[in-house]
């Protein structure tokens, strides 16, 4: 009895001692707060996948994707497209001499002509593209070889380009504008299109060079230093890219507002392609106000000023004429992808439905066998 009394008093002493120290000596609990979030008591929904929910989803996806794919595929096939290769491979090619004897140091441009025939007329606006093959604009060092601050009109970047532009950063002791490998490899062939009428007369097809670049590129990403005033003064103290025949402020002698970094051909080229075979918009042939086709069927001549060599890397050059639809240019892959996915889903739905009916042997009876 005395031992029990002693133990009780000792325990009371310990409690009173702990309480006398206050909260300063108390150990904080690591237990999370008693809230629904921290105790993981938030309401949740867990779907139960059954044949009654999964099978309709497969059929619905199939019934939606297949018609969409058919519509996209038909729209793509309705787009008219014509292309010709003018690389100059083979002695029978009209541009063979230009391709074989090309020289960067030549001051006389090499001219060649390619005759072709359009079997069907092209209605509405027609877009002229140039296409390149085996040209890897997606190479990591090539993509990085540019100075966006310089292209945005920053004067400090104009005189001191980024080191990413090496080895096309300086030339003859002067900074290059625009610097980098992308700008240095600018596509500079000149393409002119002529229609040969029934009388044999050659009629020039007007090609529109404005409106081929993205609006954000033209008005936001690419700006001339000091505005669009006297570009000769603005680019003073810089040098042209190594492979260019003229400085950046003389890219378009016929239009002073299309010079410098805001030249639309230059802007289009600077948006690098993702694949080694690509096309870029070159010109727009606008629809005629009359009811006649934009490009009637018949004979045509493509005059080319051959300035861009591609044989050194086994490349190819093409000129493409194309119309567009509500979905853009010709792209059969998108329609084929929708049809394929929809067909696979519909097929899996049928297979799973057969398996469900054939092997669903669940016994719903509550009878207990004897």
Q: Give tens-digit pLDDT for 137-195.
A: 999 999 999 999 999 999 999 999 999 999 999 999 999 999 999 999 999 999 999 99
- At residue 26, the pLDDT reads 63
Q: Give the chain's mean pLDDT.
A: 87
Question: What is the value of pTM for the model shown?
Answer: 0.78
- Residues 104 and 110: their CA atoms lie apart, in Å, by 11
- Residues 318 and 296: their CA atoms lie apart, in Å, by 21
Show the 3-state SS of 116-168: EEECCCECCCEEEEEEEECCCCCCHHHHHCCCHHHHCCCHHHHHCCCHHHCCC
Q: What's the sign of the alpha-carbon dihedral 239, 242, 245, 251?
A: negative
Query: Binning pLDDT at 50, 70 and 90, where does residue 124 land?
Result: confident
- CA-only gyration radius of the chain, Å: 36
Residue scoring higher pLDDT (349 or 1): 349
Q: Give tens-digit pLDDT for 37-95.
A: 888 888 888 888 888 888 999 999 999 999 999 999 999 998 999 999 999 888 888 99
Q: Give tens-digit pLDDT for 272-297.
A: 999 999 999 999 999 888 778 999 99
Residue 240: closest CA among 231, 248, 232: 248
* C-alpha distances out from residue 164 to 86, 143, 151, 172, 217, Å: 34, 10, 14, 18, 21
- Residues 108 and 102: their CA atoms lie apart, in Å, by 10
- Residues 61 and 59: their CA atoms lie apart, in Å, by 6
- At residue 15, the pLDDT reads 47
The ranges assigned to domains in the chain are 88-122+136-272+293-315
- At residue 16, the pLDDT reads 46
Q: Give tens-digit pLDDT for 313-361.
A: 999 999 999 998 888 888 899 999 999 999 999 999 999 999 988 887 6
């Amino acid at each position: 009895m005395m031992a029990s009394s002693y133990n009780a008093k000792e325990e009371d002493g310990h409690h009173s001692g702990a309480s006398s120290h206050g909260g300063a000596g108390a150990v904080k609990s690591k237990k999370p707060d008693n809230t629904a979030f921290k105790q993981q008591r938030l309401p949740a929904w867990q779907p139960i996948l059954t044949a009654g929910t999964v099978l309709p989803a497969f059929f619905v996806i199939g019934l939606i994707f297949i018609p969409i794919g058919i519509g996209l595929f038909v729209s793509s096939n309705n787009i008219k497209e014509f292309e010709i290769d003018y690389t100059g491979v083979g002695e029978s090619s009209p541009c063979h001499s230009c391709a074989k004897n090309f020289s960067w140091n030549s001051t006389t441009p090499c001219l060649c002509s390619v005759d072709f025939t359009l079997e069907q007329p092209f209605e509405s606006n027609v877009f002229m593209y140039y296409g390149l093959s085996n040209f890897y604009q997606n190479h990591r060092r090539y993509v990085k070889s540019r100075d966006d601050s310089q292209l945005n009109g920053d004067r400090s970047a104009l005189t001191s380009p980024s080191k990413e532009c090496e080895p096309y950063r300086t030339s003859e002791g002067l900074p290059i504008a625009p610097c980098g490998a992308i700008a240095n490899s600018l596509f500079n062939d000149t393409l002119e299109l002529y229609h040969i009428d029934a009388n044999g007369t050659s009629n020039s097809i007007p090609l529109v060079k404005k409106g081929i670049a993205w609006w954000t590129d033209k008005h936001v990403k690419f700006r001339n230093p000091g505005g669009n005033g006297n570009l000769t003064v603005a680019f003073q103290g810089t040098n042209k890219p190594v492979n260019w025949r003229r400085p950046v402020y003389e890219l378009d002698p016929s239009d002073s507002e299309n010079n410098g970094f805001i030249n639309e051909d230059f802007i289009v080229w600077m948006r690098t392609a993702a694949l080694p075979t690509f096309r870029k918009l070159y010109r727009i042939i606008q629809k005629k106000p009359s009811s006649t086709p934009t490009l009637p069927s018949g004979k045509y001549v493509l005059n080319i000023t051959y300035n861009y060599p591609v044989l050194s890397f086994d490349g190819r050059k093409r000129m493409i004429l194309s119309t567009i639809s509500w979905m853009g240019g010709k792209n059969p892959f998108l329609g084929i992808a929708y049809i394929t996915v929809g067909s696979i889903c519909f097929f899996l739905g049928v297979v799973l439905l057969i398996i469900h009916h054939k092997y669903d042997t669940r016994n719903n009876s509550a009878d207990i066998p004897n």
